[in-house]
Structure 1
């Protein structure tokens, strides 16, 4: 910023018209908002929450909180009333920045007694106004100069069960975490589209903090309806996505041409041109780095993208590690389907039980006000991730599932669902899958089909039957699926079957369908609508 303060930094669309803010603009706005916070009597060390969809003001507010020596508490915009109340109460937040929300009921109820500062968008009625502060406060001249061990933020995990825990991250944790991801920022000048939740550590570390330590322009997605045009406008050089987004983008391609017709073309003399046209249509004409994380992604999907010139680097990290633990960046085809190798500054090893353990300068020290959980999470200085893994000296690390996700069938055999789910996902008609079967004779895969092929027809039925036969031929006898149970409605954040980061809420999914599975004992390909 000091070298080129007038360089464009944040690009915010409002009704599809783009507002651009330079590094200097952002610095000035953040200093004014910091002055506003201090003028209201908030003090160094106070917790200030942020509840808003992605926008330029989110980053400005985050910087202002840092400048004032306060601690940010980001909250997912999809959080329930109870979750928002828990985060506010547990963190002791004294004020909250309110921004764009798809619906305001939960925020209005949960934040009724909290002082609110409204971003310049339609939002919850608030005591203070963002633009009023910008117009009436002068920039804070003497900003906080924190030590590396000072708390920067308390990030509450999205969690698939129970109340979220507050992960205390210092300035040092996030600084080290960003430096460990240097390989992502390979271009002299990088451009990214910000659309994944800013309350999530991936967006916070790789996009927000990454932009502070590297040359990165951030473009914001205004809405789901404008995603495609916003992505094209941004001309991204780096694109991060969760597996479900990669699946949806694949559907977008296959909606115009069947894969059976596309694949021969990609190996023809015109293959390179066709692949380039697909990349350009998706919005990736200028993109150099592609990444996936937050949940396992099927190797078959990575291979499919590789054939159109999109080499997706899988990464793995946790809120507790301040960002990445491992990454397949720079991309290595030999490590396809794995999470790559540990990033700079971190040590990774396996416990005697096969659990991935992590140690390093970006690893957090404590859960806020929860010493018991903190103690249970560490083993002689090593963070216990809860993930099963394997490591190959040349091919890097692979995740084989979470310890708490494995279940025991009626035959007394343990089944790890994730590897089976990745095999099921090879069928391009399938968008979501959850393997379950605790107490049942054999496991069952609950599947949601993509919108384009969600209806029952002979092509889909034949494809699902073929997939079931094929994968059962690859599995151990106790792992073989009794059925593919086709669910009518997708699993979403709103129906509480996905976390805010689009991970499966397995307990909720299993609870919703367990009765029908136990009573019908499905076999083969079964449609929920036929039960």
Structure 2
């Protein structure tokens, strides 16, 4: 059984699997004490029916906006479904939001209730956010919620009889997804049920997915990428969905799931790659990979260590991943496919297809998607997953959509003769040097590669020449306590700088590379929830040090 045949919404999918495979496990949730909970399709539908009945009993205004705040969990998805089953609209919130932004979203969205999920104040922003939740906002606590003074999911389920699910129409508003807000206030992207389901129905033509597949959910469900690639796909295809407990147990969680399909972002693909390089240096890899018979054993062992030895296809998106790293995974035997999408089209735009991938591109348009290159080289897309518009912001909606309905993506790109799209940078990422020359940072960042570098940011607006800010991997930073290791790294980075500059136009030549001391994280505001760099935040953070760096006249500078 491959997929629901003719669903109109994700709720139709839930009911289909609950009736055809009631006892099959849908959700597997680990807990901090080491225990796990398994929820069948029948149980999932029953709990959604009970919680939706409870929500209706509250007599909230019709189609109320209901927020969900918490890390990924089985009950995050059940809460999303219960909101829809009660005829309301879900408003997901990132667990790393600062208090000011969380307060803004709750107020701007007119949230009438909050589902409060898995948070602990350690690697999330609960300690900041708990102070801005309005006292009069009703709360339902999901398992692992930090609050014990509210109605809980378990109590509500135990005391409420299920009711038939509300069946929304495909054109009804389903969710308001607030963008991560890399600049300014986050925007509320409105999606209807039809747009959400278009992702799965279109993907059915690209990937052979079925209800025997397994996936691990760990990227924020508040972002459309995880909502589309994991939540929606699991409901449409009947996929068994596993969750991660914490960063410390991630490898254990991955081994439990043994995913057959895996979606991640470049920052994490790079972390996996660096971790293997630490244990098996690139020179040794090259030697072992070239020995007949032994190479297959070694490659399989590497994939097993990553927990991806059962994976048939893996996806990467949200930001560019250097072609060298994609090629490394593909050489291991993992078909890593770059995909492309935005919050505004529910992630449904472009994908490389199995057996037809072009490394360095984001693939060709998905079924039903149209592409073109607009003014200034900007990629424009018209997709079945396109947003209704921005909540309470018709001016911005009009600004971001063309008169004939194409989304202005803000990305610059090129389309080759076969229709494959290559993203070359962000329109807003372009900056001018003091000489008045434009620099496009992303292609330079993608060329600045070293086995111990985790991420690179090219900066230098209004400076004589651009420069590179580079962040070493965790293991590499620890190694730099040794003077000998630091001296070797200094030399290697200098060599990388020369290689990168050899391919740059004179005005793009990097003046130097700075090895930064402080990691860039979601918690300190340097990364978005999908781990893309917040270029403006990073540049602002180091602004007062730039003049001093230029004055040093060194090719490699250690902060």
- Give your verdict on TM over 0.5: yes
Give the alignment's TM-score, normalised by structure 2.
0.92
Matched, 1:441 2:464: yes
Q: Is the aligned partner of 1:403 residue 2:421?
A: no
CA distance in 2, matches of 1:231, 1:453: 24
For residue 116 of structure 1, what is the aligned residue in structure 2? 139
**1:14-37 Cα deviation digits (max 9, x unpaired):** 222221111111000011111111
Give the aligned length: 526
Give the conservation status (yes or no) of the 8 Å contact 1:409–1:439.
yes
1:485 equivalent to 2:514? Answer yes
Alpha-carbon offset, residue 460 of structure 1: 1.4
What is the alpha-carbon distance in structure 1 between the residues aligned to residue 557 and residue 464 of structure 2?
Answer: 20
Partner of 2:21: 4
Cα distance in 2 for partners of 1:525, 1:125 equals 55
Secondary structure of the structure 2 residue equivalent to 1:510? helix
**Pick aligned residue for 1:148 from 153, 167, 170:** 170
Q: Which residue of the partner structure matches residue 432 of structure 1? A: 455
Compute the TM-score of the two structures, normalised by the length of structure 1.
0.97
Quickly say closer, same or farther: Cα 1:305–1:491, change in 2 above 3 A. same
CA–CA separation in structure 1 for the residues paired with 2:348 and 2:207: 11
Q: Does 1:56 align with 2:80?
A: no
Residue among 306, 309, 331 paired with 1:285: 309
Q: Deviations over 1:83-129 (max 9, x none)?
A: 11111111100110011114122231121321111112241354311
User: Is 1:77 aligned to residue 107 of structure 2?
Assistant: no
Aligned counterparts of 2:533 and 2:279: Cα–Cα separation in 1: 29
Partner of 2:270: 247
Q: Going by fraction, where is strand more abundant, 1 or 2?
A: 1
Write the deviation string for residues 166-215 of structure 1: whole angstroms up to 9, x where unpaired. 00000011111222222345356210000000000011111111111112
5 Å matches for 1:333-482?
333=357, 335-380=358-403, 381-394=405-418, 396-424=420-448, 426-454=449-477, 455=480, 457-482=486-511
Aligned equivalents of 1:321, 1:45: Cα separation in 2: 22
1:172 aligned onto 2:194: yes
Q: Are residue 181 (structure 1) and residue 203 (structure 2) matched?
A: yes
Q: What is the rounded CA distance, in whole Å, between the counterparts of 2:399 and 2:120 in structure 1?
A: 37
Is 1:297 aligned with 2:327?
no
CA deviations 1:299-342 (Å, max 9, x no partner) are 11111222211221011101110222101122434x10110011
Residues 454-480 of structure 1: CA deviation (Å, up to 9, x unaligned): 215233122111101111111111111
Q: Is this contact kept in 1: 2:261–2:311, CA < 8 A?
A: yes
1:181/1:206 contact within 8 Å kept: no
Tell me, in whole angstroms, the C-alpha distance in 2 between the residues paired with 1:416 and 1:44. 48
Shift of 1:42: 2.0
- Which structure 2 segments of 5+ residues have no match? 1-16
CA RMSD of aligned residues (A): 1.4
Range that drifts further, 44-53 or 459-468? 459-468
Q: Using a 3 Å threshold, how does the CA distance of structure 1 residues 313 and 356 change in structure 2: closer, same or farther?
A: same
Bigger mean CA deviation after superposition, 120-129 or 508-517? 120-129
CA contact (8 A) 1:177 1:321 kept: no
Q: Choose from 86, 106, 117 the match for 1:88.
A: 106
Q: Could you say if the C-alpha distance between residues 484 and 225 of structure 1 is closer, same or farther in structure 2, counting changes exceeding 3 Å?
A: same
Look up the match of 2:356: 332
Which shows bigger deviation, 386-395 or 77-86? 386-395
2:267, 2:114 → 1: CA distance? 31
SS of the equivalent of 1:353 reads helix
Partner residue, 1:317: 341
Could you tell me how far apart the structure 2 residues matched to 1:261 and 1:361 are? 47
Distance 1:53 1:338, change over 3 A: same
What are the equivalent positions in structure 2 for 1:252-267 lying under 5 Å apart? 252-267=275-290
Residues 524/288 of structure 1: CA separation in 2 closer, same or farther (3 Å cut): farther
SS of the equivalent of 2:387 reads coil
Secondary structure of 1:324 counterpart? coil
8 Å CA contact 2:335–2:354 kept in 1: the answer is no
Q: Aligned to 1:274, which of 278, 298, 301?
A: 298
Structure 2 Cα separation of the partners of residues 352 and 446 of structure 1: 31
| Per-residue CA distance 1:401-455 (angstroms, 9 max, x = gap) | 111110001111100100000011x211111111011111111000011111121
Specify whether residues 337 and 151 from structure 1 end up closer, same or farther in structure 2 by C-alpha distance, changes over 3 A only: same
Of 15, 39, 49, the residue aligned with 1:21 is 39
| CA distance, structure 1, for counterparts of residue 311 and residue 275 of structure 2 | 18
Deviation at 1:38, TM superposition (A): 1.3
For residues 374 and 248 of structure 2, the distance between their equivalents in structure 1, rounded to whole angstroms, comes to 46
C-alpha distance in 2 between matches for 1:291 and 1:11: 22
Q: Which residue of 1 aligns with 2:3?
A: none
